[in-house]
Structure 1
Amino acid sequence: MILETISFKNSRGDTLSGVLHHPAGTKTNGAMILCHGMESDKNSDKLVFLSQALAERGLLTLRFDFAYVGESSGRFEDITYSGEVDDLKAAYALMQNRQPGKTALLGSSMGGSVALLFAAQEPTVAALVTVAAPLHPENFPRRILTREQIHKWREQGFTIYNGQRLNVSLLEDLQRIDVPASARKINCPVLILHGDADEVVPVEEAYELHGCLPNSKRLTILRGTDHRLSDPVILQSAITEALDWLTEYVS
């Protein structure tokens, strides 16, 4: 396996940082893009492990930092779902140029919602795996803030979340996007992985997402598992299922 550090631009001019995992040998079976969550980045243990495992199965795999995160340019406070969909569009174009043919997506948490929004716009996506993805990210503010704090967010133009500033552009974006409506437009096969003890995204959203998807789909509920899939045994089982699913539809 060969690692290649790359950078590319989104449509807003931000520089996005990524790492490509090239399969060993000359044959490549397809391409993969991994999308991290809101409080993560491309160097998370899970994404690094997945990238290595996918490359070993012959898939050219990209893990990258969304804009304003990790080694990509910009300020975290400017993060929005729509902005990350735009970032994923740039990553997808890059991979289509590098490896014409089938490209699949895996998104964790916010990255899963972003992947769903993007797949609704891009009919050539070969397959998709979501891990603990919010179907209703618009409920996020109400889970972390009081009504008064949300009002103050609108009034002053920002709020503080886990020590990080978030601009009101995120709050406004959450009112514009519609993940359930997007899910109903997705043509590719989708695997949904979700813990029934998820303390961030209620497991009911996984069941609802499964109901929204019109075509080939599978829902796997990970018993006793939290949002981060902290149990190493269950995590390994989930990773194996994701790898098998992706290999089936991309190779």
Structure 2
Amino acid sequence: MAPSPSIPNLQEIRRKCVTVHNSHGEKLVGVLHETNSLELVIICHGFKSSKDRIPMVNLAAAYEKEGISAFRFDFAGNGESEGSFQYGNYRREADDLRAIVEHFHKEERFIAAIVGHSKGGNVVLLYASNYKDVQTVINISGRFNLERGIEHRLGRDFKEKIKHNGFIDVRNRKGRFKYRVTEESLMDRLTTDTRGSCQSITNNCRVLTVHGSMDEMVPVEDAMEFAKNVSNHKLQIIEGADHEFTLHQDELSSVVVAFVKAGLGGRNYMAMPSESCKRTSGCIHSRF
């Protein structure tokens, strides 16, 4: 990787696998983009996705280029992590994120931001409503109205089907089994209070919502609802972008990196490396 003119020693950046156990004893697998910065950004993927999908990889690389360490990981039941996949699971994924945050707190890292794409956006907001230890939250393409989007996957009569059978098996276009939705997991989604969570986020927590104007999976109107219900909120609509910002990766990265850098500027901890960082040669601190 070519060194940045503003951050020396970027050739020392390394990527390594890190596993963290959640509260259920399951291994959560992630990739740490280590720049030896005190600051760390945690990146969360969306529904039935993984740490290795765009935009997770590109976002981590964008922070890495700025000298900010980043960690992207798989929720339980997804990607390389242990556990079984569950539809819904918003609260449990927020608990997974808690395990990640606590792990890096023990490593004496400052969590500069938690970033979530799609369902991950809902998870980081839910986390911020329950815990007050992260002051910058970025919601990318999150869904405000969780009652929408279910018919697309489960069919219009999903309520009747799941009441009758106790579950619905979701299959692909070729009829192959993808995953099972139980009544319990469906109710987990339907009883997750997005509005209440947003309104519970304290004013000293900065929240950015980024949404594509051409998102066909989650309508851009949902982004407007986040703006109405989070007190300290900034809204950024990227014109022409789809749900994964397929053709707008650079623009997305620019927006989310700038938001984190703005939150880091001028903080006193910037000049105070942690003990673990002091012991590391070639330690890099973000310069903003």
* TM superposition score normalised by structure 2: 0.79
Greater shift in the superposed pair: 218-227 or 139-148:
139-148
8 A contact 1:78–1:169 mirrored in 2: no
- Structure with more of its chain in helix, by fraction: 1
Which of these residues, 28, 33, 36, is aligned with residue 45 of structure 2? 36
Flag the 1:45–1:201 CA change in 2: closer, same or farther, 3 A.
closer
Partner SS for 1:184: helix
- Between the aligned partners of 1:221 and 1:13, the Cα distance in structure 2 is 39
Give RMSD over aligned pairs: 1.8
8 A contact 2:210–2:235 mirrored in 1: yes
Which of these residues, 231, 246, 249, is aligned with residue 260 of structure 2? 246
Matched, 1:137 2:154: no
- Between the aligned partners of 1:200 and 1:190, the Cα distance in structure 2 is 22
**Corresponding position of 2:192:** 177
8 A contact 2:90–2:189 mirrored in 1: yes
Q: What one-letter code is carried by the residue in structure 2 that aligns with 1:173? A: D
Matched, 1:6 2:15: no
8 A contact 1:104–1:125 mirrored in 2: yes
Q: What one-letter code is carried by the residue in structure 1 that aligns with 2:122? A: S
Partner SS for 1:125: coil
Deviations along 1:167-212, one digit per CA (max 9) or x if unpaired, are 3222110122111111112231111111122111111110010010
- Between the aligned partners of 1:182 and 1:77, the Cα distance in structure 2 is 21
**Percent of aligned pairs with the same residue?**
31
Q: How many residues align?
A: 245
* TM superposition score normalised by structure 1: 0.90
Deviations along 1:97-155, one digit per CA (max 9) or x if unpaired, are 22343431110000000111001111121201111101122333234334423321233
8 A contact 2:151–2:158 mirrored in 1: no
8 A contact 2:75–2:96 mirrored in 1: yes
Which of these residues, 71, 81, 99, is aligned with residue 62 of structure 1? 71
8 A contact 1:19–1:62 mirrored in 2: yes
Aligned-pair CA distance for 1:78? 5.8
- Between the aligned partners of 2:183 and 2:22, the Cα distance in structure 1 is 21
Flag the 1:8–1:79 CA change in 2: closer, same or farther, 3 A.
farther
Aligned-pair CA distance for 1:160? 2.6
**Corresponding position of 2:244:** 228
Deviations along 1:31-88, one digit per CA (max 9) or x if unpaired, are 1100001132011142122212212323221110000001011222465111111111
Bigger CA radius of gyration: 2
